[in-house]
C-alpha cells in the first residue's frame, strides 16, 4: 500500500481535500487498497480549514510515507520551524514530496526546491521567485514534476496533480477511468497554462459564449465574421459590434488567440509535426502560425517545443 500523507495547518484551503476522492476511486477501480490516506499536522488533533470547519489529524512522527503532499492556502503564511524540520527529515525516506498552491513555500523554506523547477498559484509565483531565487518558478504551469518533487498550481490543480500521481503509479488507463468517475476531463497536462483565452474573453451573454465555444471546437473551420454571425443568429455588423463590446477583442483577434492557445499546447506536447499543428489549429500553413505566435509571444512556435523537451 502507498501510504499518502496530506499535510495541513490552520486555515489551509479546503479544496485540497478533493484529492482524497481521486485516491479513493483509484482504490475502488483497482479493487485493492493502493492508497492509504492520512491527514497530518504538526501537533495533531483538530485543524480548521479555510471554510471554518475542522478535520482530525495525526501529529508528525517518524512514520514513513510513500508520498507527502503539503496543502495550499488562500494566502502565504509563515512556515513553522517544525514543519520545515519534518519535511527535511521526510525527504530522505519519502519517495515523493509535493505541494499544492502556496504549499510550495513550505518545500522552498525546507530547501527542497533549490535548483529545481516548481510552480504555485499564479498570483503568488513572483513572490516565491523573489524570496527563493535558486528555484526556477514557472508561474504558467498546472503542475511540474522535477525528480521526486511535484508542485501544483492553486485551487482545482490539486485534482490534476492527484490524477497525475495515480497515472504515475497505476497507468494512464486507470487514471482515465478515475477522471471519468470524478466527472472531470482527463487531467490537464502539467505544461498546460494556468490561464485560458476563454477566461480572458469572459463574454457577458450566452449568445457570445456559444460562439466562442463553437469556435474553440471548430478551429479548422471557416471562422470568419460572417460564419460566426450565423452561429449567433445575428447580422455580421451587429455580431461584430456586440462581440467586441463584450470581450474587448474583435472576432478575428479572438479566433487567432484561440488558435494560438491550441497550437501552443500541441507544440509543448511535442507529439505533432509543425505542419500538423498548423493544420489542426486552423492556421492552414506554418507561416501564418509563425506570424501569429510572434504577435502573441514575440517568439516562433518552435521555441515552445524546445523549452518542453525532456
pLDDT of residue 296: 80
**Angle, alpha carbons 298-304-305 (nearest 5°):** 150
Q: How many helices (H) and strands (E) does the chain have?
A: 14, 10
Neighbours of 271 (CB within 10 A): 9
C-alpha cell at 117: 523547477
CB 14 within 8 A of CB 78: no
Q: How far apart are CA 66 and CA 90, in angstroms?
A: 10
Block residue for cell numbers 456559444: 210
CB 196 within 8 A of CB 261: yes
pLDDT score recorded for residue 306: 72
Taking the model in full, what pTM does it have?
0.66
Task: List the domains of the chain with CATH numbers.
Answer: 2-181 (3.40.50.880), 197-307 (1.10.10.60)
Task: Specify the pLDDT at position 199.
Answer: 57
Q: Using DSSP, state whether 219 is helix, strand or coil.
A: coil
State how far the Cα of 253 lies from the Cα of 200, in Å rounded to an integer. 13
pLDDT at 176: 87
> Rounded CA gap, 136 and 128, in Å?
10
In angstroms, the CA 84 to CA 80 distance is 6
| pLDDT per residue rounded down to tens, the chain (310 residues) | 999 999 999 999 999 999 999 999 999 999 999 999 999 999 999 999 999 999 999 999 999 999 999 999 988 889 999 999 999 999 999 999 999 999 999 999 999 999 999 999 988 889 999 999 999 998 778 889 999 999 999 888 999 999 999 999 999 899 989 988 998 755 555 444 555 555 567 777 888 889 988 998 899 999 999 999 999 999 999 999 999 998 888 999 999 989 988 898 888 777 788 999 999 999 989 999 999 988 887 778 887 777 655 4
Residue 77 φ/ψ, nearest 5 degrees = -105, 155
Amino acid at each position: 500500500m502507498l501510504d499518502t500523507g496530506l499535510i495541513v495547518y490552520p486555515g489551509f484551503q479546503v479544496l485540497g481535500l478533493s484529492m482524497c476522492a481521486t485516491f479513493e476511486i483509484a482504490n475502488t477501480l483497482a479493487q485493492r487498497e493502493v492508497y492509504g490516506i492520512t491527514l497530518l499536522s504538526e501537533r495533531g488533533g483538530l485543524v480548521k480549514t479555510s471554510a471554518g470547519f475542522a478535520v482530525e489529524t495525526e501529529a508528525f512522527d517518524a512514520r514513513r510515507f510513500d508520498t507527502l503532499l503539503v496543502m495550499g492556502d488562500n494566502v502565504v503564511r509563515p512556515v513553522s520551524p517544525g514543519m520545515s524540520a519534518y519535511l527535511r527529515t521526510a525527504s530522505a525516506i519519502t519517495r515523493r514530496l509535493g505541494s499544492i498552491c502556496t504549499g510550495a513555500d513550505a518545500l522552498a523554506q525546507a530547501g527542497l526546491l533549490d535548483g529545481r523547477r516548481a510552480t504555485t498559484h499564479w498570483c503568488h509565483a513572483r513572490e516565491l521567485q523573489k524570496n527563493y531565487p535558486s528555484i526556477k518558478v514557472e508561474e504558467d504551469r498546472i503542475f511540474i514534476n522535477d525528480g521526486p518533487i511535484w508542485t501544483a498550481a492553486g485551487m482545482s490543480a490539486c485534482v490534476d496533480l492527484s490524477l497525475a500521481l495515480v497515472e504515475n503509479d497505476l497507468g494512464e488507463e486507470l487514471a482515465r477511468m478515475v477522471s471519468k468517475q470524478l466527472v472531470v476531463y482527463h487531467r490537464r497536462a502539467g505544461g498546460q497554462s494556468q490561464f485560458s483565452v476563454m477566461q480572458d474573453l469572459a463574454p457577458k451573454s450566452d449568445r457570445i459564449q456559444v460562439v466562442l465555444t463553437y469556435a474553440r471546437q471548430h478551429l479548422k473551420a471557416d471562422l470568419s465574421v460572417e460564419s460566426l454571425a450565423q452561429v449567433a443568429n445575428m447580422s455580421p455588423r451587429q455580431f461584430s459590434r456586440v462581440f467586441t463590446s463584450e470581450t474587448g477583442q474583435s472576432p478575428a483577434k479572438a479566433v487567432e488567440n484561440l488558435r494560438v492557445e491550441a497550437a501552443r499546447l500541441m507544440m509543448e506536447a511535442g507529439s505533432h509535426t509543425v505542419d500538423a499543428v498548423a493544420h489542426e489549429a486552423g492556421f492552414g500553413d506554418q507561416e501564418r502560425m509563425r506570424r501569429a505566435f510572434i504577435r502573441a509571444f514575440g517568439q516562433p512556435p518552435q521555441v515552445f517545443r524546445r523549452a518542453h523537451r525532456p
